[in-house]
Chains A and B, each alone.
Chain A
Amino acid sequence: MIRLAVFGDEALARELAPRLRGAAVDTRETPDACDAVLLVETNREDAQLALRCLSAGKHVLLTAQAWLSSDVLAALSAAARNAGVQLAVANPDRFLPSRQLIRQQLDAGKLGEPGLIRVHRWEPAATSGQSSELPTPLLRDLDLALWLCGKPPDVVYAVEPAIVALSLGERERCISRSEMTTVVQVHLGFPGGGMALVDYADRLPPGEGYQSLSVIGSAGAAYADDHQNMQLVYRGGGPQGVLAGEQGQRTALMTQDFVDGLTAGRDFSPSVLAWQNVLTVADAVRESLASRRAVVWEGR
């Protein structure tokens, strides 16, 4: 039985406790009396906490975040190696039931060789902070594309709108990068001819966001789209769409995978490498946006 600590999030601990097999869940303030630590939706300040946990000989599962830079990954990986424990970096979106189903179909050969991964994610402006980093949700979508294609890209091209028109009544003007919310379109090419288009924007009005994932393979395709998962509510006027969501099981599935891996003695270093690959692509996205050229890696 893995003793799993969830730091400072009692609600999450209560949510996970009845669902997990092979683990006992508790909240902790310090890394003692546990085997592994779950750090979900953290921020930059939690890097020290992760380091302390690893150094104290605890396995750590960190959800993939924009602040997990190459330097931080390297430091955490070194601490894990020195302590002989596992550092896992997980993209929780991989564990959405729809994404798990699509991955299963790919693994079973039902869809053939992935040819095109198409991702849309639109969020309200308030969910993203003003930052020079590419937002975590966009990085997670890049990870999805790489994960579903099964390899890193060899070409990266990115564009963003030059002018974002302002609300009615405001003068239309060119907005500097620091003022803009993020609207980025990433175009990836993969060795062997596969492609991905990842569209991210945090310019929706306040309210719900939108997500869509299509995987077009040589033998079949899968479409996971919020559009087709809308229920209708009539309150006068036109009907409103209410999303039949799937977010609820995501963290539990991610955590169960971690617990199962620890029990089986799995090496989680590929998860760290996967996030490092995303960071490399993110660097290429920034380079492409600045240069207006495609970034090409020869010989990949």
Chain B
Amino acid sequence: MPLPATKFRCAVLSAIKHDYVARGLASHPRFELVVVADDPQIPDWAHQRNEEFASAWQIPYVRDVERALREFDVQVAIVSPEAERHCDLSIRAAAAGKHIVQDKPLATSREMAGRLVAAVEENKVKFLMWNRNFVPAVEAARRQIAAGEIGRPFAVHLDFYFAKDAGPPKGTRQPGDPPLDWQAHQIAAHVDGADGGLGREPLGELAIEGIYPLGYLRALTGAQVRRVFARRAAHFHQLYADSGVEDLATLSLEMEGGLVGSLALGRIGASSHASGGEIKLHVLASEGALVANEARPEVGVYYRGQPAKEARQRRVAGDNDFLLAENFAVAIDNDGDTILDVHASHAIFATIEAALESCRTGQPVEVS
């Protein structure tokens, strides 16, 4: 009779941004949330969110990260604070010998990204950047490419639009009104999950969501991006214009193996799609091509009095959370790599950095 698989006890190091990471991991029977922890000096609103999450899961909330890591017999740390604290908490978890599941983005600075990579390597812990690579459409495309159905890819094009609002439209601020406050908006946006850029430091959509489509690119091709040309704009939202960051970006990519690709992404406003955003994959290859709608399979649901912001097309049969957690568990069991480990995440971070540099210079930039 096979031995029961090890159950991993998890510390949730801050649940103030995307608690779906912790909930996603906990959906797998091998992961158990046992404590929520955060630093004592965070604002009251952040403590309140942590307490609410801990209460909902009937687990303690500890205002001392190191004590939680030390005293609760955890093997895994789930990191989902504001973006500017991602690296600090993950580095501390790595130093305590804990495997890490972290929310995106990887980091908000090159220096911190490097320190995180070093900490994971030095402490020989596993790292998983939470991602969407196991959504059914991406997984199906990956399998088709891996099986040689369309030959060898030479171009990959990705569209990744979140049809969500982020405050009032651009151009609506009246003369004399102060600029919109980034953090205040993100705190308020938590109620509908539109707070991907939570933190004091404004983040453009490349930093906030670029990891998802660039993660698809790696999953489909395995290729590193070598060179990028990018354009960006605050096109839709006053908040992004006031904060000097982009809500729309386009990238032309040159990858190893001679592949080329493109990425168009943005937070394009709730009015611009019936169901939360158009996300598409286009792959050209030596023997054919494929076009995939990342949202499928989906079901259309329409009814009288339906709220305008409710998606008309609903995703079904998604197994991303379980498969990510399974991937993480197997990596720990077998001392293997996760589907999006710290090195792959760092490569994506470097691509985004190069894209932002290209936006500043107006010329293509090598990815270092």
Contact = CB atoms under 8 A, between A and B. Distances in A.
Given A187-B250, A195-B233, A199-B157, A120 B282 contact: yes
A185 B262 CA distance: 8
Given A214-B278, A218-B236, A220-B272, A161 B258 contact: yes
Given A118-B264, A168-B287, A220-B272, A161 B229 contact: no
Nearest to A203: B284
Given A218-B169, A218-B235, A115 B364 contact: no
A216 B236 CA distance: 10
Contact of B288 (A113, A204, A226): A204
Contact of A189 (B159, B161, B231): B231
Contacts of A227: 280, 291, 293
Nearest to B153: A165
B281 to A, nearest CB: 11
A167 interface: yes
Interface string B260-290: 1110101011011100001010101111110
A294 B364 contact: yes
Nearest to B246: A193
Interface string A114-125: 011010101000
A166 B286 contact: yes
B363 A185 contact: no
A160 interface: yes
Interface string B152-165: 10110101010100
A162 B223 CA distance: 14
Contacts of A193: 231, 233-235
Interface in B115-164: 148, 151-152, 154-155, 157, 159, 161, 163
B183 interface: no
A183 B261 CA distance: 11
Nearest to B229: A157
A237 interface: no
A163 interface: yes
State which size class the interface on A falls in. 35 or more
B254 interface: yes
Contacts of A197: 157, 250, 252, 262, 264
B257 interface: yes
Contacts of A220: 269, 271-272
A195 B236 contact: no
Contacts of B293: 227
Contact of A201 (B236, B258, B284, B291): B284
A193 B159 CA distance: 18
A56 interface: no
B214 interface: no
A214 B364 contact: no
B282 to A, nearest CB: 6
Contacts of A201: 155, 284, 289
A21 B99 CA distance: 73
| Most chain B CB within a 10 A radius of its CB, from A113, A161, A162 | A161
A242 to B, nearest CB: 15
B248 A116 contact: yes
Chain B contact surface mostly:
strand
Contacts of A164: 154, 258, 286
A187 B229 CA distance: 9
Interface string B282-311: 101111110101000000000000000000
Contacts of A126: none
B268 A216 contact: yes
B170 interface: yes
Chain A contact surface mostly:
strand
Contacts of B269: 218-220
Interface string A80-124: 000000000000000000000000000000000101101010100
A187 B262 contact: yes
A210 interface: yes
A165 B151 contact: yes
Interface string B162-185: 010000011000000000000000
Contacts of B280: 225, 227
Contacts of A292: 364
B159 A118 contact: yes
A280 B287 CA distance: 33
Contacts of B273: 221
B269 to A, nearest CB: 7
A294 B271 contact: no
B252 to A, nearest CB: 4
Given A118-B159, A218-B169, A218-B236, A195 B250 contact: yes
Nearest to A196: B250
B235 A221 contact: no
A204 B291 CA distance: 13
B363 A293 contact: yes
* Closest 10 A/B residue pairs (Cβ): A193-B233, A162-B258, A163-B258, A221-B272, A165-B152, A115-B235, A165-B286, A161-B154, A187-B252, A195-B250
Given A183-B155, A216-B248, A294-B364, 17 more contacts: A164-B258, A168-B287, A183-B154, A183-B284, A193-B235, A197-B250, A201-B284, A205-B288, A210-B289, A216-B161, A216-B272, A218-B170, A218-B269, A219-B269, A219-B271, A220-B271, A225-B280
Interface of B: 148, 151-152, 154-155, 157, 159, 161, 163, 169-170, 229, 231, 233-236, 248, 250, 252, 254, 257-262, 264, 266, 268-269, 271-273, 278, 280, 282, 284-289, 291, 293, 362-364
